[in-house]
Structures are given as structure tokens and as C-alpha cells.
Amino acid sequence: MTSYRLLRTPFRYTFWNAALFLIAVNLGVYMLTRIEPVFYQYLSLNPRLVLGQGMFWQVATYQFVHADMGHLFFNMLALFFFGTSVEKRLGSKEFILLYFTAGVLCGVLSLFLYIATSAWNVYLMGASGVVFAMLLAYAVFFPRSVIYIWAIIPIPAPLLVIGYAVLEVYYMLAGNSSGVAHSAHLFGFFISWLYMVVRFGINPVKVWFGSR
């Protein structure tokens, strides 16, 4: 019971724009990898390097590495849009805990998946798993929010989460990766879902489809 109460104990609310700081860190790491490309190898997640050379830090650092400016821009745009709203709702300490819980566990689960499927040459990079975790959290805390796809098509936040989840499962089953880590996206949703249940006692399904 003591550990259960500890899991549910909230942080004292504080807010200091941690999302903007994390965006700055992502930008700084991107500049570092462009100046010295060897950091792609050291900071991205590769199962062969993790197991063979003990680079266990990669399960945490991969999320700050991006392949190109487009990859960085769209992840940081999503982090700014969803992350700042979630941070304002939860406070910076809770936001940071959610951010790194999602990021590190996405890395760990992806590593296990790559080992199980003998995908030794994969290099996982990018904050997409965290972004998907933030999207689900955003949809839980702001279920009536409407997001405009391509600034034109209005989609309720919960429906967007469900739609993305279906697409990610489809792409995985169809084997259509195109260099995109669809499994990491699904892990992000899954971890954020568990976080809502364990940390807050919130069932997203009841939030989205329960009686209002």
C-alpha cells in the first residue's frame, strides 16, 4: 500500500517551460551530430552496440538524435504543440517524469524487439515515441480539443490517437516501414496509457467514451 500511495503522490505544481528547454536540447544535439557525424553512432540506439560494446546510455540518448532537419522540425513542432499543453496541465516536474519515462521505456522496449527479431543493424533515433506519448496524454486531458490536420481537416484529439494507432499497426503488419519506427510510436502510446492508469488512475477509454 505504501508503494501504491507513493506512485499516486502528486508533485507540487511548478511550471518553468521545460518543454521549451527539451526542444532546445534536441536542437543542440542535432547541431552536434551535424558538426561531428560520429555522434549519430554513439547516441542513436543500435542493439549491436548496446550489447556488444556496453553503450547502454543509448536507450535514453536516441530520443535526442534526429536524421535531418525535417525529422527534427516535425517532432519539435508536435512537442511544442502537445508537450507545452500537457506541461501546463500537469506541471513541469510531472511532465519531465512522463517525458523521460516514455522516452527511456520506448528505447528499452524497442531494444528488446530488435533483439527478438535479430534487427542488429537498426539505428533508432528521434523523439517520435515521446511525441506519441504526449499526444495520448493531450487527448486524455483535453478530450474535446480539435486538431487540424494540414491546417484544414478538423479531427477530435481522441479520434486522432485512435487513427494513428490503427495506422501504425497496419504499417507494422504490412511491413511498410520506410525508415519509420512504427513500433516506437505504438510503444509511446502504450507507455503513456499505462502512465495515465498507474500514476493518475485515469482510464483513457472512459474519458473518451464514458458518460459525460
* Calpha distance 75→127 (Å, rounded): 6
Cell for 26?
534536441
Sign of torsion, CA 105 119 125 150? negative
What pLDDT shows up at residue 111? 97
What pLDDT shows up at residue 210? 79
What pLDDT shows up at residue 176? 58
What pLDDT shows up at residue 1? 57
Burial of 32 (0-12, 13-18, 19+ CB in 10 A): middle
What pLDDT shows up at residue 9? 86
Instruction: List the one residue out of 106, 150, 141 whose CA is nearest residue 127.
Output: 106
- The whole-model pTM stands at 0.93
What pLDDT shows up at residue 178? 55
Question: Could you report the average pLDDT of every consecutive run of 10 residues in the chain (212 residues)?
Answer: 73 96 98 96 97 96 96 95 97 98 97 94 95 97 90 89 90 67 91 96 92 50
- Domain ranges in the chain are 2-209
What pLDDT shows up at residue 173? 77
What pLDDT shows up at residue 8? 83
Q: What is the pLDDT of residues 120-172, one digit of tens each?
A: 999 999 999 999 999 999 999 999 999 988 778 899 999 999 999 998 888 87
Q: Distance of CA 138 to CAs 39, 42, 100, 145, 176, Å? A: 32, 32, 16, 9, 28
What pLDDT shows up at residue 2? 60
What pLDDT shows up at residue 177? 55
Q: Do the beta carbons of residue 102 and residue 44 sit within 8 Å? A: no
DSSP character string of 57-101: THHHHGGG--SSHHHHHHHHHHIIIIIHHHHHHH-HHHHHHHHHH
Q: Do the beta carbons of residue 177 and residue 167 sit within 8 Å? A: no
What pLDDT shows up at residue 19? 97
CATH of domain 2-209: 1.20.1540.10
